[in-house]
Structure 1
Amino acid sequence: MAGGTERAKSYMATGAYVGCIKILLTVYNFVFWITGIAVLVLGIWIVAGLQKYTELLDGYPSAATWAIIGTGAAIVIIASFACYCTFKGYGRLLYIYAAFLMVVFLAELAAGATFLVFKGQVQTSLKTGMNNTMNSYTDGSDNAMDKVQQSIKCCGINSYVDWYYTKYDKNTEKPNTVKVPKSCCVTSSNCSNTNLPLNLNQTSASIYVEGCHRKIVSGMEGNIAIIGSAVLGFSFLQLLGSVLACCLGKGINKAKYEQVA
């Protein structure tokens, strides 16, 4: 009789434990789902909002960006499925869910670390990428330099004179003058973008004199640091979910065993 009472108490305690973990995991699943949307939006923002800058970065880790988008989309789907598993109490599926969370943790950890490491290479990478882009520039091409020069009101790397040392300026009509793309013009009308003096002090106000490199670096380093930190922060959330899923799976299996016993 005493043994039956003890088993009943143990079963009730396990049931209370399972119920508590279910609530915690349900709350986590909702937060996890929101996190997935946030990660997905972050990845889309990198591709859509920063593309004109990332195109100029030599060695930019584009694979990490797509990994963020893929991970975000997967999180949204799996979090929805996890809610069903939590309510139904499927122990085996909860263990699979825990394993998936560990995979997500590792993927986000790698992507976040990649961005933080790349942050220290932005200045060199950008200068190399801009040099390559400027040397391959032709009028009328869909060039990343045009997008950047127009959007942040700059010209060249350090100044518009940088175009003098590119293949684009090899057919300048007058020696010791520089030709720049029309995207360097302050206004599209009445803009002189050819035969410009190499002396910055003699340049007319019709083109942007300041270079793009410093402007881009100041923004990109901050953005990349935010991206890397955000992804790393999200990644450690998966560890908590993995622990909760394992605890619930273990509790459910124990409750089933006690019920049978």
Structure 2
Amino acid sequence: MAVEGGMKCVKFLVFIFNFIFWVCGVALVAIGIYAHLALNQALVAGSNSAASSPVAIMVVGIIIFFVSFFGCCGAWKESYCMVTTFAVLLSIIFLVEIAAAIAGYVFKDKVRSVLEEGLWDTMRKYGEDVPLTEAVDKLQEDFHCCGSNNYTDWATLERFRVNNTVPRSCCRVNTTNCNVNPTTSTIYVEGCQKGIEAWMKKNILIVAAVALGIAFFEILGIVFTCCLMKGIRSGYEVM
């Protein structure tokens, strides 16, 4: 059975919206990968709850990617079963996103403590694992920071306190003894936590804008998909 008249327009809109969902899914995956790579140095310490945030964004993007592809096929073939399944899956995704947004707002104050815990765990393992050490060095070099709260945090660790040193990645200019007897003129004094939080606040607007855009199109997609379902079920004729 096919769809005619106004239902052809609905079918076309459903197809277009699914293509937009597909693009949004790709965008979320890209944002998740970017966030994961940018924050990997801070999260590599093993703070699973913090590391799961960019991973969750990627997972949602992948799910939207496949669901939208499923919806495109359903609209193109005018399959009532596929279109119905798509509408149900899209509704579930929308509700999950709403729940995630609420949870994120409720637990936003825990982000700071989780980040600080991750940084301290990383610092304690510094020098014991080569990839981990390299990750910490890259973090401090990229964010121009030293320690978690400030450079004196390294003095709480025995291996640095006995020699009055900090990692060389804390140095403003990397020279032979720049990390020995550190001063505010030779090393970065601000902690990495502040820099990472500033980065997150700056980029959270991008994530929020993308999320709002996706939610808007999801609502429209659900409405038009329901209209298409009704048209297919009514048995109107196509082209």
Q: TM exceeds 0.5?
A: yes
Cα separation, 2, equivalents of 1:188 and 1:80 = 51
Contact 1:134 1:168 in 2 (8 A): no
Q: Is the 8 A contact 1:181 1:193 kept in 2?
A: yes
The alignment's TM-score, normalised by the length of structure 2, stands at 0.81
CA distance in 2, matches of 1:56, 1:118: 21
> Structure 1's 226 and 167: CA in aligned 2 closer, same or farther, altered over 3 A?
farther
Distance 1:94 1:140, change over 3 A: closer
Q: 1:161 aligns with which of 142, 152, 158?
A: 152
CA offset digits 1:207-239 (Å, max 9, x no partner): 223332322222223334543553354234323
- The equivalent of 2:141 in structure 1 is 150
The share of aligned pairs that are identical, in percent, is 33
Structure 2 partner of 1:69: 58
Q: Which residue of 2 aligns with 1:241?
A: 221
Alignment partner, residue 26 of structure 2 = 37
1:49 counterpart (35, 38, 45): 38
Secondary structure, counterpart of 2:62 in structure 1:
helix
1:1-261 equivalent positions in 2, closer than 5 A: 15-55=4-44, 58=47, 60-138=49-127, 141=130, 142-143=132-133, 144-170=135-161, 172-173=162-163, 178-194=164-180, 196=181, 203=183, 205-224=185-204, 226-228=206-208, 230-255=210-235
**Residue 6 of structure 1 aligns with which residue?**
none
Secondary structure of the corresponding residue to residue 34 of structure 1: helix
Deviation per CA, 1:20-52: give whole Å up to 9, x if none: 211221221222222121122112212223322
**Separation in 2, partners of 1:93, 1:133:** 48
Q: Which runs of 5+ in 1 are unaligned?
A: 1-13, 198-202
Q: Secondary structure at the match of 2:146?
A: coil
Q: Is the 8 A contact 2:28 2:58 kept in 1?
A: yes
- Aligned-partner SS, 1:50: helix
Partner SS for 1:67: helix
The 1-side partners of 2:50 and 2:84 are apart by 32
Aligned mates of 1:251, 1:133 — CA distance in 2: 58
Counterpart CA distance in 2 for 1:34 and 1:22 is 19
Extract unaligned runs of 5+ from structure 2.
Answer: none
Change (3 A) 1:120 1:57: farther
**Bigger CA drift: 18-27 or 107-116?**
107-116
| Separation in structure 2 between the aligned mates of residue 247 and residue 165 of structure 1, nearest angstrom | 64
**What TM-score results when the alignment is normalised by the length of structure 1?**
0.75
Could you tell which deviates more after superposition, 99-108 or 61-70? 61-70
**In the alignment, residue 241 of structure 1 is paired with which amino acid?**
G
Greater radius of gyration (CA) = 1
Q: Shift of residue 95 of structure 1? A: 0.4
The number of equivalent residue pairs is 233
2: CA distance, partners of 1:79 / 1:161: 51
In 2: Cα distance, 1:43 partner to 1:164 partner = 35
Equivalent-residue separation in structure 1 for 2:27 and 2:95 (angstroms): 18
Which letter does structure 1 place at the counterpart of 2:74?
A: C
